[in-house]
Structure 1
Amino acid sequence: MEHISIKEIGQIIKQNRFWLGIIGLLDLLSILLLWLIDAQAFQVIAISVILFSLLVFVTAVLYLAKKERKRKKAFDEFLAVPDSYHEEQLFHDAENLQAEIRSFSQILHEQMDQCAQTKLQLNDYEEYVEAWAHEVKTPLALLTFMLDNHRDELSEDVVCKLDRINCQMQRYIDQMLYYARLKGARKDYRFESVDTETCVKEVLEDFTPLLEEQKIQVQLDIKENTLFTDKRGFAFMLGQFISNSIKYSKGKDTQLWISCIREQEQIILSVRDNGVGIKACDLPYVFEKGFTGDSGDRRKKATGMGLYLAKEMAHDLNVELDVSSDEAAGGCEIKVYFPVVEE
């Protein structure tokens, strides 16, 4: 027999204290009657009664403990694999709880069916979003192709507006697609060595129309040129930071600084601007879903999803985000802390 702990014995005694108390009272009554019948033989008989009672007590406790352990094991196995076989085993080992077990089993199976249905719906939703994004990107690609081939035939103002609309739609589609992926069950991250400067320039190229329209000057200072991360996830995060800087730019003489340095055992990527900045009271909430802050007319155009999705992506990529802002001087800085991975 397996070793039974003191804690298990204590629980058995506590659960059966009423009947154990009855046995103890009967022993006391028997000893009292023996003393009244034969006081001279009382001591010998009393010791025999006490020893016999202790033997019965220990045997009963060990039996009940073994039975309770067997019932607990059957219950754990049923929870792990709630099929009909383990359910019958649980019925056999817990005969006095069959009604409760049947009720619990019914509720458990209903919950499992509901979870399976929800998982199926989530998978369908994720597949629908991905298919929708793919279909929408087709006409956007056609629009880009037409713009590139007919720029000379359109006015500069029209080209600028169409470029801006195209860039914004691409960004919103990416946000929706990544939201579905971040909340979905399947995540296909590929961690590899990423060329920092190349990736940053590729992301900036996607924002060229908006940067030129806002006349934002970009300065790069990439001292650490290798990151070990998922390239698509990193590019998505960086895109949200750049989009945020463009959205809250001052309108003129706006600058955007992107740097990457190594400090001890971490690599720090910084995206800093000299835009309108963030109020101190809003800083703790900028990564919350749907939060747009007090930013005047810009608040009407904001969705409050960009930095939230960036935070979710950072969690999946095991990197940390930090945001700071000087409300008086203006400007905002977002830092991404990557761990150093030696190959």
Structure 2
Amino acid sequence: MGLKLFIKEHFSFIIFELIIVIFILSLYWLDGFRNVDTAIYSITISIVLMTSFLGVRYYLRQSYLKKITHLPTTMEDALQKNAKTIEYMQTEQYLHELYRVYQHEVQTLYAIQNRQEKFLNQWIHQMKTPISVLELLLQEEGNLDKKSVQEEVDRLKKGLEMVLMNARLEKFEEDMQVEQVKLKEIVSATINENKRLFITNRVFPEMQIDETITITTDSKWLKFVIGQFITNAVKYTFEQNKRIIVSAIKNESNVQLLIKDEGIGIPKSDLIRVTKPFFTGENGRKTGESTGMGLYLANEICEKLGHKLEIDSEVGVGTTITLTF
């Protein structure tokens, strides 16, 4: 098989060499030099030299030709090094690099698929809780408790929003629209969307943001990020009548948004891992409602938008999240 491929590869070369020999002999013939023995000797020498050249060339390529004429059974077969010529060595190097790129893409896709599957399983498991509560409320006799129903509907809406944002994150660039926006408007809108959460937990928001402060960002994605911070701040503030202070500082080169709560705080051992996917930590186990994806998604979005996220916390005192634009 390898010899057959080699002959096909060099067939045009053999024909070209024969044409050159015939052309040279024709010149000698037309010039009056018509010695038949010399012509036969010249043809024989040419054939021997050409055959020797092709024989050595085939020997150097034999192992490589054998490799490419047999279908591989595993991807690792492409990593074998059989070439002995510069051209084929370069070809092998190209294939090895192609294999490396392929492996990187496969591992990336596998990681994304695995993360999506794990997140979806956790999300479905958590969405069972509000659905069960709604079923129980519907089974109760008497007037329907609309407040409780609304709370569970809000939990479902939050869960749907998170899973949709997680799905869109893979095609973030296609969905991004960067523009100049007023920071106070975005924060106010986010707080208003979570007003029932504040009322239910008896936690009070305070906003200290100048109306003139503008930032360059994507308002939709930023609202989701701030919403995650505010939701976490409320969720992990177990005592009533506590505050969540949202303020902004305008510096010469940037704008900083600070979200400070008076909640239970994050242990130092968990602080460096809170933005990892599916990490719930001690606080997540206390509530039993954490997917471990909120801060991960927020951190990913901040990186894609070019915003710097910093989290400082002290157990029993509270947490401060700083977002630098």
Tell me the TM-score normalised to structure 2 length.
Answer: 0.57
Structure 1 gap ranges (5+): 1-93, 123-152, 339-343
Distance 1:184 1:160 in 2: 37
Instruction: Tell me if structure 1 keeps the 8 A contact 2:213–2:250.
Output: no
Q: CA deviation at 1:324?
A: 0.8
2:230 aligned partner = 242
The answer to whether 1:201 aligns with 2:188 is yes
> Secondary structure of 1:261's partner?
strand
Q: What is the aligned counterpart of 2:271 among 260, 273, 283?
A: 283
> Secondary structure of 2:240's partner?
coil
> Secondary structure of 1:295's partner?
helix
Distance 1:265 1:102 in 2: 50
Counterpart code for 1:229:
T
- Structure 1 residues 114, 278: closer, same or farther in 2, change over 3 A? closer
Distance 2:245 2:149 in 1: 26
> Secondary structure of 2:222's partner?
helix
The answer to whether 1:160 aligns with 2:147 is yes
Distance 1:113 1:336 in 2: 36
- Structure 1 residues 185, 215: closer, same or farther in 2, change over 3 A? closer
2:245 aligned partner = 257
Q: CA deviation at 1:309?
A: 0.4
Q: What is the aligned counterpart of 2:85 among 67, 75, 96?
A: 96
Instruction: Tell me if structure 2 keeps the 8 A contact 1:191–1:229.
Output: yes
Q: CA deviation at 1:165?
A: 1.6
Instruction: Tell me if structure 2 keeps the 8 A contact 1:167–1:207.
Output: no
Tell me the TM-score normalised to structure 1 length.
Answer: 0.54
Distance 1:178 1:237 in 2: 10
1:337 aligned partner = 324
Distance 1:101 1:334 in 2: 52
Instruction: Tell me if structure 1 keeps the 8 A contact 2:228–2:295.
Output: yes
Q: CA deviation at 1:108?
A: 7.9
1:149 aligned partner = none
1:301 aligned partner = 289
Aligned residues: 215
Q: CA deviation at 1:118?
A: 10
The answer to whether 1:231 aligns with 2:219 is yes
The answer to whether 1:215 aligns with 2:205 is no
The superposition leaves residues 168-223 of structure 1 with CA deviations (integer Å, 9 ceiling, x where unpaired) of 22222121111122223753211111122221121112212211110111111002
The superposition leaves residues 90-128 of structure 1 with CA deviations (integer Å, 9 ceiling, x where unpaired) of xxxx99367667777788889999999999999xxxxxx
Distance 2:321 2:98 in 1: 47
Q: CA deviation at 1:326?
A: 2.0
1:315 aligned partner = 303
Instruction: Tell me if structure 1 keeps the 8 A contact 2:284–2:290.
Output: no
- Structure 1 residues 299, 226: closer, same or farther in 2, change over 3 A? same
Structure 2 gap ranges (5+): 1-82, 112-141
- The CA RMSD over aligned residues, in Å, is 3.4
Q: What is the aligned counterpart of 1:179 among 156, 166, 179?
A: 166
Counterpart code for 1:231:
S
Distance 1:154 1:261 in 2: 48
Instruction: Tell me if structure 2 keeps the 8 A contact 1:292–1:299.
Output: no
Distance 2:177 2:198 in 1: 30
1:47 aligned partner = none
- Give the share of equivalent positions with the same residue, in percent: 25
- Structure 1 residues 336, 106: closer, same or farther in 2, change over 3 A? closer
> Secondary structure of 1:255's partner?
strand
- Structure 1 residues 95, 291: closer, same or farther in 2, change over 3 A? closer
Distance 1:296 1:118 in 2: 29
Distance 1:114 1:279 in 2: 38
The superposition leaves residues 295-333 of structure 1 with CA deviations (integer Å, 9 ceiling, x where unpaired) of 2753521111000000000001101011111214x2111
